[in-house]
Structure 1
Amino acid sequence: MAVFSLTASDPSTFILMGIPGLEDAHIWISIPFSMFYIIGLLGNFTVLFVVGKEQTLHKPMYLLLCMLALTDISTLISIMPKALHIFWFNLKGITVGGCLTQMFFLHTVSIMHSAVLVTMAFDRYFAVCNPLRYASVITNVRIAKLGLVGLIRAVLLILPMPLLLSRLPFCANHTIPHTYCEHIAVAKISCGDITVNRMYGLVLAFVVIGLDLTLIALSYGLIIKAILRISSKKAHQKALNTCTAHICVMMMSYPPSLFSTLTHRFSKGIAPHIHIILSNLYFLIPPMLNPIIYGVKTKELRDKLGKYTFRR
């Protein structure tokens, strides 16, 4: 067994290298990363606080915003504490159980995040296309049930990942060239056959993203069709404004997710440190910007937030 820089080789321990090739710059890289982390946590906890305190915001739309904020918070806390330990203290060791747990939690939250975006698309469909039925169809109870279904789906789809990894043999190489335990990054250091792991991860990514994007596209196709029937430009603008924030959040979520999935498996020309930095930014920037986008674009939430801000 090989000997690592931190501890003697231990078959129950992996070593997360952080950003290979940029070890000397870890402290400098940690500055923007930690800023994004803190801003993301503050923004999302603020959304949860304001919606929780204001009875007038106890509506399906804001329940969905809380669900989105919870997935964003979960994403941040699943990767950044360990990454900052690597950057600041050079603490690179992680137990195999801890690594598999982090991987399961992170990927489960990612699929749950996608389910929330699909539910938001249906919410917008009823708000624009069937406003008279909106209150009877889109209720807090129904949104909570859809959220539970999304969580169960995420757990069932991701559960095979750590189980498949736990069956792989890991020989001398326990060094993961990443800041967190990404599924394929862990599988690649195995000395066994990882074909099943590669295929499951790829099929899962395309099935989940493909299905969710299809449902979202269907919702927005019907929304656009309904908007085109409206003759008033003012009504056009109002209808589009109800969807702008959701569209912005989707554009920050799906394209980077597909990019990260494909480059992990097929890219040979992208330098590893570039790919790892982009992967981290994918998990940092959307959670930081999502509460800002909804805070700016949602007047009712903006007004309530302003009330608490100016009071202080």
Structure 2
Amino acid sequence: MTTLDHLTNGRVGWNIVTSYLKSASVNIGLTDQLKHDERYDLAAEYLDVCYKLWEESWEDDAVRLDKENGIYTDPDKVNDIHHEGKYFKVPGAHLSEPSSQRTPVIYQAGASAKERAFAAENAECVFIGSPTITVAKETVRRLRADIEKTGRSPEEVKVLPMFTPIVGKTEEEANAKFEDYKKHISHEGALALFGGWTGIDLSEYDSDQVISYIENDSIRSALEGFTKIDPDIEWTVEKIKNFVGIGGMSAYAVGSPEQIADTLEEWVRETGIDGFNIAYAITPGTIKDFIELIVPILQDRGLVRKEYEGSSLRDNLFGQGDQLPDHHPGKQTSDLVVG
């Protein structure tokens, strides 16, 4: 991460993901996947190790760059972190000098109680998957309440729902694209995706079966979004197959550039989100259409900038410099032993 941040002049972010698939755990030597909540306990300690390496191991003036005397670094200012925890033991120092951001911008996805608590402590940007405005609004409300409990400002975390725009130069053209996309939906693939996210195999259910919430160790927030949060929608197996087949976990909209721009504005106005994680129905077509047809309208409305002013990804997002703010938990790590 540090090397990438150096190479990109401070443009790196890290989306912290705790894999929910058993196959992922088996592939790295475990016999089964960890339980949902324990995965986040492990992630919290892993991130604590990273914070210590990025933020505390190298002091600000550790790099000397004294070519005349052949001294690159002052060894007294590069410190071992001596981390000993439940999951990790890391005695040594970070291998790289700090980059401009030190810690990459921290992204996190997920909206269950445990995931929100993890995000509230650490995340600078949060990805959410919300099939409707109602789900997004409630997810944002819960998340910002949890952030406030940690002592951080609820507004300092950017919340970004996934959203799939299907746009044409006219509404008719957009609808024609949508009808074509629907012809290529893999219903089997959509159900496989849904089953992976939620731990529920819908392939044996009738198409008109309404799904309900079941507690398990998959992505709990995904199943909540399709069952509990929005009482105005009943998600049947058939509806899920067609919805997931186009937009995955995310909402989608079909229309002209102006109509899509209006929809994006409505989401921001109604839910309190800060922006969008743009997904695609086809690649690169969806993203290309979004850039060419929708972004200019959003720029004309003053909703998307026309150029960057900051010196790094973090500075462009928050306008407060390259590094984590002093009150962020990443700046408050403990147990560092100098030497």
TM-score with structure 1 setting the length: 0.24
TM-score with structure 2 setting the length: 0.23
Greater relative contact order, per chain length (Cα 8 Å cut-off, separation 6+)? 1
CA radius of gyration, larger in? 2
Structure with the larger strand share = 2
